[in-house]
Structure formats: structure tokens, C-alpha cells
Structure 1
Amino acid sequence: MGPPPVVTGISPKEGPPGTRVTIRGEFLGISATDLVGLKICGCDCLLSAEWKSINKIVARSGPCKGRGDIIVSTRSGGEGTSTVQFRGYHESIGPVKESAVWVEEAAPPPLPWGRRPMSPTAYTPPDPLGLSTEGDECKFPEEDLNELFPEGSGKLSDENFQPGWYLLEHHSNTSFEDLKAGMVFLQRKVESQKEGQLSFLKANTGAVMDQLDRLVLLKNMYEEDHRKNGKEPLPSLQAAIEESISLADSLFSEILSRKANADKTREALSLLTRHKFLFQLPASIDKNIRKKEYDLVVNDYTRVKNLFGNTDVKLFQKILDEVDKKIEELKDNLYKRIKSMPCNVQEQTKYIRLLISLNWEGDAAWVAITTRKEYLMSLMNKVRDHFKQKEEQENGEKGKRRGRDAVGGESDTCAVRSAWCACASGALAGELHALWPLARRYFAGDLAGEPNEPRRHAELKEMIIAAVELFSEHMRACLLSSGSSSNMGLEATRSRLLSNLRHLREAYESLIKLDLPSQPLSIVEKVIFEYRVHGMTLFLQRAHKQVKSLADRETWKIVQYSDYGAITNLPSLLETTMEECLSSIHKCVLASGRRESPLLAEGSEPLNILQKHTQQILLAFVSVVEKLALHSEDADFNHSSLSVALEQALEEAEGGARTWQQRLLISAANAQYTRRVTLNNIAAVFDSNGFPKPTLALTTTKEALSNLESSIAETYLEQKGDPLVDTIEPSMYMGRSKIDPDTLVDDARPYVYEIINNLIAVHAEVDSICGCGSSRYVRDICEIVCEEVARLSACVAPHSRATAFRARLECGLLRLATANHLTRKAENYLAQSLSGLPPLDNADDKKHLETAMQRFKKRMELQLVSLNCNVETV
């Protein structure tokens, strides 16, 4: 739609009905056919309007009265406005007033001397009071006046004239002072007419004498003619005329015949010259068609149809038939041009208007709309087929180089898919930007056709939805299929994902600008949302795959010593992997575009996917730690004594390798560190990236890690504690030496020292890996040792004084050596082993026991410090 018309000037500014008015302004129509309405003071003047230019119209005013606006209406701009006004008024036509209309005749009142004119004329007499009635409007309807004066009339010439009627009809708005002045005027006029005929003759003596002289002259001329020609002069005059005609014919017959031929020739040449436009029209049409100046062809054809459309001249009809044939060929050519694609919408609109101007039978605009829809569908199918073929070629080449550059092949496939997405998005946006405005103009009535047909609206909606659904189907096949993922690097994956999202959003934004209905927009928005979910899933699957492969990246190199033991880079790799994954999701797919749904709305399916994959990733890490700890092929635990263990540890440190028990302890430290530190860091990463905290996944993973720590501890105790306990009984009875029942021993048997040395070896190994967490393992092994000692003590025969003293000494030394690692349960075991012994009541025996323990402490000071870390704490 163009701007509405605006009238800014008129000339003249007032006049009676039929006044030629020149109207000036802006946007008064782009052609004569564009002008659809013209009102001057409320009167329709379109029939008399002559469109001159976009700024000028000439028309004649209608039967309007009073002031009013000039309203111009055009097809392109609608109804306009006016900044000026025209005043119309009605004139009273008298006998000496020039008029373009016929004035009805009626007998005027008799002249003072009783004569009537030969051709009386009916005219509206001037107001008898000498007052102007222009602009006065009767406030009393004729029905009310008839009721007031049932037998009267307001006309001055009627016999039943009533002055009251006349005054109410013509002077209802006149002031009393003006009526008094009118009364004086009427009295003076009546007095002047009372002078009579004599005064009239005195005033017009000269005119009366001239009339008498003319009458006498006319009488003399008539009598002279009667003497010369008689009473009937016509027969003699007729005979003379006929004689002259026959004589002239005889003299000039040949000349007249040649003149007739010359006139015919001249008439034919004049006809050719006058209708030169018609005779040259066929050649002109051919020339303009070759030059593609179709507007000139339409104008010439419309003009010739208006001039010669109803002619009966056979020559003209023959030429018109030839012109019609060429116009039909032009219509076919224009129809083919509308159907031929690609074609920009401006050219297509031009061809539509030409066909409408040529009265083409059919709905040219609807043909153009359906053609564009079919072209859009075929274009997207061609794009799909092209990139499918290109992808197959890439896959064929990848198969040839398989094993050499598989990742490069995946990258090529993704590049093809990305180009497919960009091309399809551009095709959809570009063609809909041509189709939708064309359809809107069609339904607005700018392109004729059947815009008000309800089925047209439904068909157009189906067209748009079909095109958008086809685009969505292709994009799902392009971006959401299994072939769209790749083994490329993280940055390459991010770049591809952002590029594809940008193309989809550009297409979606272009559809929003077109103000399309919500249904096709929701289809494209759903594809974008699904691709965002796909991108998030892709990053999560990539992280899951990386975490599952962490077992191959474990070097068992200690990177830090924490409160939970020696830590390798495994927890850090988990944290880095999750951070990269969440950062990629936040950067690429989390942010919602214009009119897009939030990705991780509460209770949404994408949020469930994120939580589910997060749990799978964390549990996969637990599986990796479990595999590294419990499923090692190197299952040969070191069950040797302290010296042998230290020797082997030195050899392994020099060789850079770690035993299974060391890897088991490192795995336990990694699990505990992950449970207490790494998972909290991962939760912080979720929060910093704007993701909901994965409470369930973290809780489940912590439980799994806790269970894994328990399994590792049980495995370590099973493999390390059982062999140590198995050596107690053989060492306790080694040699079967007998003691004097009454002689107190000064030292414990060797098995006590072997237990202490083995505990020192375990403590040294665990402390080197677990640090502060080593007490758990030493405590559990001490508990097992105390239980075994209690069992063996219960199996001994009744004690003598010497054996009871020895048993008390050995239990005291064990308690002294393991004081910092004894649990309540272990204390109970030691107390249980002493419960069957007789009490130590002799003071000398107590002193002897104390002396033996002091010697033991002094002799085993280094061992006690090694086991308890601080001798003063023992």
C-alpha cells in the first residue's frame, strides 16, 4: 500500500454546480485506473474527473451547497484527506444571465401597461425586499408550512400568496432591522410604479419614436416588394434556380467527376493518416515485445480497443484480428514467464499486472503463488539430493583411505552437512520472502484474482506449512541423524554446531519478520530446539566417551598429596572433561534465541537428559576407578617381611612401576578425593554455567564411590591381612620350647616382633600412598591381629605362673606397639585374651613386667616411632 492522497490546493475555491475545478496535491494516483473515487463537498464527481498526473486532477463540481472537503480515493493509497475546502452555491438565472442550461418558460406578472412579452421566460424573481437569501436555510419543513397556511403558497406569482410563508421560508434568519430596511425598499419600489403610463412614455420618448419609424420603413419595403414580384414570387425563383443548376451541371460535369475521385483519394489518404496508429500497431507490438517494453504494448492495445472495439469497418476488423492474435501470443509468453523459475518477485508481479491488463482468463497471481511454492519444494529437494550425493562421494573416498585418515573423513562429512544446512536455510528464507509478500498483496486485492475465496486462504496456509515441514524434515535428516556426529576436536565440533544454529536461526528470524502465522513458526522453532538438545547430547556423549577412556590415560604418577592420600591426575581429568562439556553446552546451545523456548526449563525433557547423562558420566568414572583398582591383571600382593618389602619397594621405585596394592591404595585415594572434592567442584561448575545442580547424580555417585572405597579396603585387607594373620600361629609355636613354670621370662617370643614388623611394613606402604588416611587400613589389620591372638590364647591349656606372665608381657607389648591404631573392638579382643589368666598380685612380678616393657620400648624405639609416628603418643 502506498501513501494516502492529500489535497493541498484547488482553483477556483467556489462556484455553482458544474464549475471546472483544478485539484492539486500529493499521491493523487499513479495512473487513471488507480483513481477510484472523488468527492467535492460530499458529491460524487468521479465521472467528470480527468487524471492529469500524480499531483493534478481536473473535475466539475456537483450540485453541492456550502463548504466541504475534496476527498480523493486511490487503489494504491486508499481514502485521502484535504487541507482546503470548496464552497458551492446556486445562482438565480434571469433573462439576461448567460446560462448553459435551458430555462423553463412561464408567464411573468403583467407589465404596468398591460402588455405581455412574446417569449416569456420563467426565472426566479429577485427578493421583493431587496435582501440576499444566499446562505439562508429554511428551518421550517414544507409540511409545517402547509399546516400553518393550509390554503396559502410561498410563491410570489401565485394568487394565494402568503407573505408569512415567504418570510418563514426565505428570511427565518434575517434580523428585524433588515426586515424593516426591506420594507422601506418595497414601499419605494411600489411608489415608483404608481406614476402610470404617461410617466413611462415621458421617460422613454426616444425609444417609442424609433420604433414608430422602423414600423413605417418596414411597411414601405413590403409595398415595394409586392409591386415588383407580385403576390407569389416563389415559382419564378424556383424555375430560375433549376435552370441554373442544369446549366452548371452541363458545364462542370467532368470537372465534378474528377473532383469526386480526388475527394475519394484525399479521403483515403486522410483516413490512412488519421488512423496511422491502427495500421502501424501490429508492427509496433512486435517491436515492443522484442524490446520487452510490455507496458507500451498494453497501453496501445487498450487504446485501440477503446477507439475501434465496436467498428464495423472490415479493414479495421481485419487489423484488430491480427492484433488480437499477437496479444494472445503475448499472453502465452507472459504465462510461461510466470511459470519459469527462478524469477524475482518484481518481474513476476509485473507479468501478473500485464496479464490482468490484457484481461487474461485466469488467476495470474494465484498461478504465480503456486509456482513459487512448487519451486521452493523442488529447490529444497534438489539441495538435499545434491548434498546427499556429495556425502556419498565423500564416504566413498573415506572408505578408500580408511585406516589412514578416518577423522578427516568424519570432518568432511560434517562440512557437507553444515553446507547443506546453510543452503537449505537460505533457500527457505529467500523463497518465502518472495512468496509471502506476493500472497499478502494478492489477498489485499492488489493483484485482482479471487482474494476473498475462503479456500484460497486455507490453500496458502497449507502451502506454507508444507514448505516449512519439508525444510524441518530435511534439517532433521541433516543435523539430527547419526551421521551428523563426528570424531572431530572439541573446537571443531563447537564451530560446526554454532554455524548450523546460526543458519537455522537466521532462517527463523527471517520468517518472524514476515509476520507468518504461529503454526509454521513453531515447526522451525521445534527443529532449532531439537538441534540444541542434540548438541547438548553430543557434548555429553563426547564427555562420557572421554571418561570411559580415562583408564588408558592413567599413568599412576602422583600429582599431589591431599588430606585423602596421594592423588593422580584422574580426578582432575574428570573435572576438566565435565568443565569442557558444560562450557561447550553453555556457549553453544544454552542461550535461547528470539521467541525460542528455554533449553533447561524445570521439568523439561532436556533437563532430564542432562541429569541422566551427567549421572552416566560420573558412574562411568566410578567404573574406571573400579576397573583400575579391582580388575588388574597384576594381582601378586607382597606378603613378605619388612626387609623384603622395603627391598621390593626400592626396586619398583627405581623402575618407575607400581605394584597392584599401591595402585589399589591410589585408586582408593582417588575415589575419596573425587567424592569429597571433585564432585563439589563439578557442582560448582554446574552453578557457574547456569545449570541446575545434578543432585541425584551427585548423590548416586557419592554412594557408588563410598561403596567402591569399602570394596577396595576389603580387598586390600583380604589380600594383605589374611597372610599376615596366617603367620601368627606358626610363629607362636615355632621351636616348641618349654619354660620353667616358676621362672619369669624377660622378653616376648619372636612372633610378637614379627607381628610388629609386618604392621610396620603395612603402615609404611599405606602411609606412602594414603598419608593421613593410612590409619584406617592399619587399624583394621590391628583389629584382625588382636582377634587372632585372642583366639589362640583361648586355645592354650591352663596357665602356670611363668606362662601367664609371658602372656601378659606379650599382650602388653602388642598393646604398646599398636596403641594409636587400636579400636574398641581390638581392645576387647586383647582384654578377652587376658581374661583367663590368673591375676598378677606379686609386686615383684609387676616390677619385673614393667622393667621388661621399658627395655622393649628402649630397644624398639625406632620401630614404635615408625608404627605410631610419635613415640610419646604410645
Structure 2
Amino acid sequence: MVLPPIVTGLSPNEGPPGTRVTIRGENFGQRPTDLIGLTICGHDCLLSAEWKAPSKIIAISGPGKGFGDIIVTTKLGGKGTCNVHFKGYYEHIGPMKESAVWVEEKPFHTFRHSLSASSIQIDDPLGLSDESNEKKIPEDDLNDKFPGSSGDLTSENFSPCRFLYENHHKTNFNDLQAGLLHLRRKVDGQKEGRLSFLKTNISAVLDQIDTLMVLKDKFEKDVKEYSPEPTLKFEKAIRESQREAGKLYTDLYTRGERVESTRNALNVLTRFKFLFSLPCSINRNVKKGDYDIIINDYMRVKNLFLKRDIPIFQTVLHLIEDKITEIKEKLHQKLVTMPITVEEQKKLIRYLVNLDSNFEPAWDAILFRSKYLVNRMEECYKEHKAIIADDMRKSKSPHAAKYSKYNASQDANACPQNIFYVEELSSLLSELFPDIWKLGQAYFIGELHVKVEPGHKTAFKHTVLNIMEAYCKRLRAALIPHTLDKTSDKTNYGTWSIPDIDTMAIYLPECLKYVRSAYSILFKLDLPSEALDIVLTFILDLRIHCMSIVFKKTIENVKEYDKQETWKVEISESHCGITELPLKFEQAIQQLIQSISEPVFEAEAREGLLVDNISARKEYEKQLDNLLTAFYNVLTNLVLKSPENDEDDDENQTAIVSQLIGTPTTVVYKSRGKSNIPIRERRLLMTLANCQYTSNVVLTNIVRLFTKSNYQIPHQMIKKTEENFKSLETSILENYLEQKSDPLVGTIEPSMYLGRFDWHTNFTPVDIRPYAKECINNLIHVHFEVNSVSSKLVDSILPQVVQTIAEELYRLMSCVQKFSLAGAQQALIDIGALQEFFEAYSTERAKNFFKEAIKLIPALNEQQSEIIKEVLKESRKKMRLQILCLQKS
């Protein structure tokens, strides 16, 4: 059971009309729609009520006066009760008070006397205290000085002078000025508070607006309903009624005569109603397209009235025959007018067969469909050639000169019209040819109930082959014109300007998709193998050409690598010291395989693998060999063709690497504005690292990539490429050693005999000779230079340098004519130190050279050899850092 609402609290509990009251209590409903009534002091305030919760409502009080109840009414609980009271009162409006409701136009003094003295207390408008005016001026004196006036602000005869004399006769002038400012501020404050005044009294203002709107709506409704002069409307209606009454009488009289005259004719026609109404029925059914009804009615009339010689019947029959002949011509015209669906054509063929037409509707439908497809191909070619001509005309226009750069950039990225032409041509074949084939099959299997004429099967097959031939030759002319048959007239299939390799490499795979899509539709139609083979041959040629173009584009890009070399060392997982070229080459191969893997390598229905075709395999191997050779040539060019600044290198670098004979050991060259290009020796090392990485890693990855795509790289080609790179490695290594080893070895002899040194000397050895230290330092410098590029090159280069040094020492020792004891000791110390320091990078041949050099020195006894051990021991302590530099990690 739902309890009635009850009001238990108000806030505030009194106020003038328009006071916002918060009502609290119980059972006010569960939703806003449950509240259906609210009265405050007997006045309906539901319009301003706002339901907040089952225990809270906010409303605006109405014009109620005195104490009263607030009654809430809900949909289920009904009318409620109130435990508290609300007091409504009207504020007294004075001359300084704004009001939102109508105020009676009575003099303010009338209700001033009706109120008690304490009911209205007006503050001093000047805001000045009158406590200093202890002695008030008598009323009689004021009346004598200001006759007929009053100092009361609410009086009609209010006099400002009397007010000041009465209330501020002892106030000084400065205070009066301050009071004037106070009064002005008070007035300005009231002006600024008008907006808040309107917000406070919004209910009263809205009531006034609603009342005016109601009056306006009622007035407009009356004008609209009755017009400014309603009697004119009634007069017009009466006259119209008179006119309609007269018309009804006249029509009734005329109709009676017409009925009598036609009754006799209807009696005559009723018996042969079907015959006489047939021409009209034919016209009506032609408009509706109900040819089945026309055929049935026509056959019925022929059976009933054809053999009757009654003239009127023959006249009607001739009229019907003329209409049927028109219908036959119309149906045949509709049959051969393209475009039209196959189902619609089958329906028209059936109509013509049932009407015994002299046409061959089925064969005509096939021929006109075939001609329509051929014509659409020709129109497609002309449309695209017109677009090309229009573009050329716009490009030559003088108005296009200022936008030439923009147009050039746009044209570079624009798809050639050849591609759009191939796409649209394939779409036309896919869309129109299946209808030709289905219609032909229906004709030959007897589905159309038409007699098949002799020779039509052969003619239809010839038509199909001609369509396939025209389609493929038009595609060849647009994409691969060099594959067109030399005996055929190429102008019959269009002439196109073939875009460059870069553009064709982008769009040829897409063209292959278009052609394959059309071929898949033809394959599902179960066409003869001769027709499918024509398209398959073109697809094979297009696959080969697409593969060749993509390869050629990649080759052209690879050939530019030597110009793009930045000589910035890249870090690889399997190698270091390489530049970006090997990785870039591998990425190019990956992109190439991605470009041709799906559209070229993968075979679809009846296509077969590409490498099974001899021509395709030869082209594949040729282009792949050209690609690998192109990268080999890039690395070769980087080694053999020096950059423009290599001549400056030769001029600014020193050829001798010995400090002992007056030149520095480090390479010195001047800045030439191209500091990002390293010196030639460093370029040789980087290129050598690139060769090794390409031979060991990149070629393996390339073989794996092609194998993953089910295409093998011939073993002979891989072997040939590896040999080329090995040969290039050897050439680069020899070139580098020539740059490093020859100058280094050439300075050993001058450094050895510097200061007129002679091995037949008598001084006691205390350290290894400077030339030996210089050899060690030079080898460390070479180690640093090679290791800074690639640590893997150290084991390839340093052993060759050590071997050259060992061979030179053996030669120099063999040229010594005589050793003293001290000279022999010094020679053994130098060679022993070099043997020990170079142990990590000494080849067997280098070790043999060191041994042979030692054999050339006179043998020493154990006591004479002690000084050698001591000197070598001290040398190891002094040159610990050099030993660490030449040790393998």
C-alpha cells in the first residue's frame, strides 16, 4: 500500500511571491512523473515544482498571503498533508524599491497613513546620522518656511530643501557632500542589481510573458479560423453550392441520353467482346510489359476467328496482325539493344519464338552481344587515349607554366593510363563475356527451344577465340608491345607509349592480378582449351616481363650504390666494420622477392611453375646474374675508381712511415671539405669487410630467400659469384698490403743502419734496437687501423704484414758480412723480441724466415747467451703495453 505524502519541513518558512522554497517530507514519489500536484497557501505551484528525491521538492511560491499549508499530490499516494505552515506576505513598495508585480497606481501617501508608524521605517538616503540634531525644529516653523511641501520621502509634495533643513540643519557641507556620494552609489548599486532582481522574481516575469503569449495565440487563431471578415467565407460557400447543384442536374440529363444510345451497341458487341477488345487489350498489356498475356490472347483469336470470312472480323484481325508485327519488331529491337541481361534476353527470345517471328532471335542475341563486347573494348581504348591527349594539351597550355613544377611532381606519382586501360579491359571481359558464353550454351543445348542452324557451332567457337585473341593483343599492345605477332597489324589493337622501368615495376604486378582475375572467371566457365591457352600464353609472357622489369629496376638501383656510399660503419650481428651497402643489397633482394613472389613465382590454375618454362628460366638466371654482378661491380668501383679527392690524398699524405729517418709514422692529410670520406686505406678495409660479409652472409641469405620461394639459384652462379668476391677480396688485400707493408718494410733497412751502425761492433747490448721497436709500433698502428674497421680483418692482414717483415729481416741478416760478439748478441735480441712480440700473428712461413735469420747469426755459448735473456726480460717489462696490444683476446 502506498502512503500519502506528508510535508515535515520548509526552508524558508515565509517569503513574498516568487520565493524559492525547499520542501522536505516523505512519500513524494519514486520519479518526477509521480508528482501531479503542489499547492502553496491554496495556489497551484506545480509548474515551478522540481522533484529532487522521494523526500525533497523545490518550488516557487505563488501569490498566497498569510499562513497556509503546502499540499503535495502524487500519482499513487494521492493528496497529502502538511505538518508545518508557510507564511506568505507582500512587500510594501516604496519610491526606492523595484517590483516584479503590478503595483496599484495610488499615491504612496495613501497607504502611508494606513500603516502604523512602525510598519514603515525609511532609512536616511544620505546615510548620515542625525544624532547631533538633538533639537528638532518645530513643525509650525517648517510649515511657515516651506508652505505646501513635505519632508517625507513618500509624499507627493516632497521637498528636498525641507528634508535637509528638517533632518540635517546642523550638518556641515563636507558631510552633505559625502551623503550625496553615498546616495549616488546606492542608486548605481540598484541599477547593477537588476539582473539579480530579475532572477529572484523570474516566476512573476514568466507569468506575465505567458499571459501575453496566450493572448497573442488566441488572437491569431481567431484570425486564421474566421479571417478578418468571416461573412465573406460563408457567401463564397453558398455560391459554390449553387453552381455544383446546377452542374449535377445537367450531367444527369446528358448521361441518360448517352446510356440509351450505347445500350444497343453494347448488346451487339457483348457476344464478340473478346475479339473487339483485343486491340485495346494489346496496347494496355504492351504498356505493362505483359507479353505472355498478349501471346495467349493472340493464339486464342487465331484459333477462333482466322477461318471466318465475316468482313468486320477480318478487319479486326488485320488490325491485330499489324499490332503483333509491331510488337515483334519492338521485341527484336529490344533483344539486340545493349546492355541487357541474359535472363531478359532469354525471355524476349521465348516471346519471339511463340509469336512465330521471322528472326533468328537466339543467334542474333549472341552476335550482338559479341559485337557489343568488341565495341566496348574499342571505346575503352579511345576513352583512355582521349584522357592522355587531354592531359598533354593541358600540360602545353601557357596557363600551366606557373604550375609546371607542381604538375611534374604530380605526374611522376600518377598511375599511367595503360594500367587503368588494362584494369578496365579486364573488368569488361569479366563482366560481359560470361553472358555471351552462357547464352551460347543455352542455345546449343536446346534450352531456348530454338532450332540450331548448321555452322553456328563453328561460328560461335570462332567468335570466342576472336574475342580472346583481341583481348590479349590489346593487353600486349598496352603492356608488352614487343611480344605482338609481327604478321598482325599492331594499329588494330592500339598504340601506347610504355612508361619507364620504375613505373612499370610498380604497376605490372597489379596488371597481372587484373588479368588473372579475368582468367579465373573464364576458367570457371569451362571454356575450350584453345581459348584458355590464348590467355595463358599472355599471362606467361606477362609474368616473365614482370619478373624482368622488377629485376631491372632493382639492378638500376643497385648500380647507384657506389654513389650513395656514406662510408659509415654499421654493426651487424655476424660481422662488424661493414657499411650499409651489403645490408642495403640484401634488403633490395628481399623487396624484389616480395614484389614478384606472389604475382610472378606463384602459379595459379593451369599456369605451372615459371622456371619450368625454358624462356622464363633463362630470363630469370640472366637477370639474377646481372643483379649479383651489379653489386660486385659496385664494390669493385669503390676500390678501383678513387673518389675525386684521392689525388689530394696523395698530395697531402706522406709515403714514408718512419720517425727515425725524419718523417712521422702516422698518416697526415689536410681537410678538404669532405671530412666524411675516409682515407683510401680505410676505404679499402671497409670494402674488404663488405666483400667478406657479402660472400659469407649475404649470399647465403639470398639463397635461402629464393629457396623459401621455391626457386633455386643455380649452383654454378653462386660458385661464380663467390669466386668473384674472393678474387675481389684478394685484390683489395693486396692493394692494402701494398699501401701499408711496402712503405713499412722499405724503412727497416734505413732505420737499422741509422747513425752508421755496424754489426761488427764492440758495445754491450742493453735494449732492443730502435728499428725493432719501430717495427713493433708500426704493426700496432696497422693493428689499430684494421681493428677500428673490423676485428675480423685482423687475422687476414696482420699475418701478411708480419710475414713481410720476417722476410725482410732474413734478407737483411743474409747481407751482413761479419758479426762481432756484441753484434751477434744484439741481432739475436732484436729477432727474438720480434719473434716473441709477433708470435700471435706469425704464419709458418714467417716463423721459418725468423729461424733462417737466426741461423745466419754466429752461435753463442750459454754464458754469452745470458745477456740476451736479461735484455729480453727487461724489454718485456718496458713494453708490456705493446705486448698486450699484439695479443689475441
Q: Distance in 2 between matches of 1:504 and 1:823?
A: 64
Q: Secondary structure at the match of 2:859?
A: coil
Query: Is structure 2 residue 678 aligned with structure 1 residue 662?
Result: no
1:648 deviates by: 4.8
Q: Secondary structure at the match of 1:361?
A: coil
The alpha carbon displacement at 1:440 in A equals 2.0
Aligned match of 1:846: 865
- What is the rounded CA distance, in whole Å, between the counterparts of 2:812 and 2:673 in structure 1? 38
- Choose the corresponding residue for 2:352, options 343, 352, 355: 355
Letter matched to residue 728 of structure 1: I
Give the alignment partner of residue 822 of structure 1, picking from 842, 848, 851. Answer: 842
Taking the aligned partners of 1:579 and 1:378, their CA distance within structure 2 comes to 43
Residue 441 in structure 1 maps to residue 431 in structure 2: no
**Contact 2:768/2:871 (8 A) holds in 1:** no
Specify the alignment match of 1:862 in structure 2: 881
After superposition, the Cα gap between the structure-2 partners of 1:538 and 1:393, relative to the gap in structure 1 and judged at 3 Å, is: farther
**Residue 524 and residue 270 in structure 1: after superposition, are their counterparts in 2 closer, same or farther (change >3 A)?**
same
Cα gap change, 1:531 to 1:433, in 2 (>3 Å) = same
Per-residue deviation, residues 284-314 of structure 1 (Å, max 9, x unmatched): 6566556655445544544444445455566
Aligned-partner residue type, residue 428 of structure 1:
L
Alpha-carbon distance, 1:373 to partner: 0.7
Residue type of the alignment partner of 1:360: S
Task: After TM superposition, list the pairs within 5 Å mapping 1:188-227 onto structure 2.
Answer: none
Structure 1 match to 2:430: 429
How big is each residue's C-alpha offset from its partner over 1:117-167, in whole Å with a ceiling of 9 and x where there is no partner? xxxxxxxxxxxxxxxxxxxxxxxxxxxxxxxxxxxxxxxxxxxxxxxxxxx
- Please state whether the residue corresponding to 1:519 is helix, strand or coil: helix
Which structure 2 residues correspond to residues 9-24 of structure 1 after superposition, within 5 A?
Answer: none
Aligned to 2:331: 334
The letter for the 2-side match of 1:707 is S
Where in structure 2 are the equivalents of 1:150-169 lying within 5 Å? Answer: none
SS class of match (1:556) = coil
TM-score by length of 2: 0.59
Q: 1:563 and 1:581 mapped to 2: Cα distance? A: 23
- Give 2:437's aligned amino acid: W
- Equivalences for residues 90-109 of structure 1 within 5 A: none
Residue 677 of structure 1, aligned match among 680, 685, 697 = 697
| Aligned position for 1:386 | 383
Q: Is the 8 A contact 2:689 2:790 kept in 1?
A: yes
Question: Following the alignment from structure 2 to structure 1, what is the Cα–Cα distance between the partners of residues 687 and 828?
Answer: 40
Would the aligned equivalents of 1:590 and 1:599 in 2 still touch at CA under 8 Å?
Answer: yes
CA distance in 1, matches of 2:749, 2:395: 69
Aligned ranges for residues 91-170 of structure 1 at < 5 Å? Answer: none
Distance 1:668 1:826 in 2: 24
Partners of 1:404 and 1:759 lie apart in 2 by: 59
Equivalents in 1 of 2:849, 2:718: separation in Å? 39
Give secondary structure in 2 for the equivalent of 1:413.
coil
* C-alpha distance in 2 between matches for 1:467 and 1:740: 103
The equivalences for 1:28-43 within 5 A come to none
Q: In structure 2, do the counterparts of structure 1 residues 650 and 631 end up closer, same or farther at CA, with 3 Å as the change threshold?
A: closer
When residues 774 and 382 of structure 1 are mapped into structure 2, their CA distance, relative to the original with a 3 A threshold, is same
Would the alpha carbon gap of residues 858 and 578 (structure 1) be closer, same or farther in structure 2, given more than 3 Å must change?
same
Change (3 A) 1:485 1:738: closer
Q: How many residues align?
A: 596
Are the counterparts in 2 of residues 554 and 570 from structure 1 also a CA contact under 8 Å? yes
| Contact residue 814 and residue 853 of structure 2 kept, 8 A | yes
**Aligned amino acid, residue 445 of structure 2:** A
Match of 2:592 among 554, 563, 581: 581
Counterpart CA distance in 1 for 2:504 and 2:278 is 72
Q: Secondary structure at the match of 2:734?
A: helix
Q: 1:709 offset after TM fit, Å?
A: 1.3
Q: Can you list the C-alpha shifts for 1:809-832, whole angstroms capped at 9, x where unaligned?
A: 444444344333222323343444
- The answer for the alignment partner of 1:141 in structure 2 is none
Aligned equivalents of 1:787, 1:738: Cα separation in 2 = 21
Sort the Cα spacing of 1:488 and 1:404 in 2 relative to 1 into closer, same or farther, 3 A: farther
Contact 1:407–1:488 (CA<8 Å) still a contact in 2? no
Could you tell me whether the CA contact under 8 Å between 1:395 and 1:413 is conserved in 2? Answer: no
Q: Aligned equivalents of 2:444 and 2:760: distance in 1? A: 124
Residues 1:465 and 1:793: Cα distance change in structure 2 (over 3 Å): same
Tell me what 2:732 maps to: 712
Q: After the TM superposition, which residues 522-671 of structure 1 pair with which residues of structure 2 at under 5 Å, given as runs?
A: 522-560=533-571, 564-593=575-604, 595-600=605-610, 606=616, 609-633=619-643, 634-635=645-646, 636=649, 639=655, 641=657, 644=664, 648=668, 658-671=678-691
Q: 1:307 to 1:528 in 2, by over 3 A?
A: same
Residue identity matched to 1:521: L
- How does 1:726-765 map onto structure 2 within 5 Å? 726-737=746-757, 746=766, 750-765=770-785
C-alpha change, 1:506 and 1:731, in structure 2 (3 Å) is closer
Distance between the aligned counterparts of 2:787 and 2:572, measured in 1? 11
Give 1:412's aligned residue.
414
SS at match of 1:751: helix
Change (3 A) 1:858 1:553: same
* 1:355–1:741 CA distance, 2 compared to 1 (3 A): closer
Matched, 1:461 2:470: no
State how far apart, in whole Å, the 2-side matches of 1:654 and 1:591 are.
48
**1:713 deviation in Å?**
0.3
Distance (whole Å) between structure 2 residues aligned to residue 269 and residue 764 of structure 1: 125
Residue 715 of structure 1: how far off its partner (Å) = 0.9
Any idea what the Cα deviations from partners look like across 1:255-302, whole Å, max 9, x if unmatched?
xxxxxxxxxxxx999997755655666666566556655445544544
Residue 703 of structure 1: SS of its match in structure 2?
Answer: helix
> In 2, are the aligned partners of 1:582 and 1:686 still within 8 Å (CA)?
yes
For 2:358, what is the secondary structure of its paired residue? coil
Aligned to 1:130: none
Given the superposition, is the C-alpha separation of residues 640 and 763 from structure 1 closer, same or farther in structure 2, using an over 3 Å criterion? farther
Residue in structure 2 matching 1:507, options 504, 518, 529: 518
Cα separation, partners in 2 of 1:552 and 1:396, compared to 1, 3 Å: farther
Confirm or deny that 1:521 pairs with 2:540.
no
* Structure-1 separation of matches of 2:742 and 2:831: 20
Name the residue aligned to 1:56: none
What is the Cα deviation at residue 778 of structure 1? 1.8
Report the residue type matching 1:409 in the other structure.
D
Instruction: State the shift of 1:392 in Å.
Output: 4.5
| Offset of residue 521 of structure 1 | 2.9
- Where do 5+ consecutive residues of structure 2 fail to align? 1-263, 482-496
Question: How far is the alpha carbon of 1:381 from its aligned partner?
Answer: 1.6
Contact kept, 8 Å, 1:641 with 1:757, in 2: the verdict is no
Q: Following the alignment from structure 1 to structure 2, what is the Cα–Cα distance between the partners of residues 405 and 615?
A: 38
The CA deviation at 1:835 is 5.0
Kept in 2, the 8 Å contact 1:601–1:607? The answer is yes
Aligned to 1:230: none
| Pairing 1:203-352 to 2, within 5 Å after superposition | 289=286, 292-310=289-307, 320-321=317-318, 323-352=320-349
Distance 1:499 1:678, change over 3 A: closer
Contact 2:657 2:744 in 1 (8 A): no
Distance across 2 between alignment mates of 1:305 and 1:563: 96
Q: 1:770 maps to what in 2?
A: 790
For residue 665 of structure 1, report the CA deviation from its aligned partner: 0.7
Mark the runs of 5 or more structure 1 residues left unpaired by the alignment: 1-266
Output the CA distance in 2 between the equivalents of 1:861 and 1:272: 137
Listed one character per residue, the Cα deviations across residues 480-505 of structure 1 (whole Å, up to 9, x for unaligned) are 56846774799xx4xx6676555434
How far apart are the structure 2 equivalents of 1:627 and 1:487? 24
Query: CA–CA distance in 2 between the matches of 1:359 and 1:741?
Result: 135
CA distance in 1, matches of 2:673, 2:877: 32
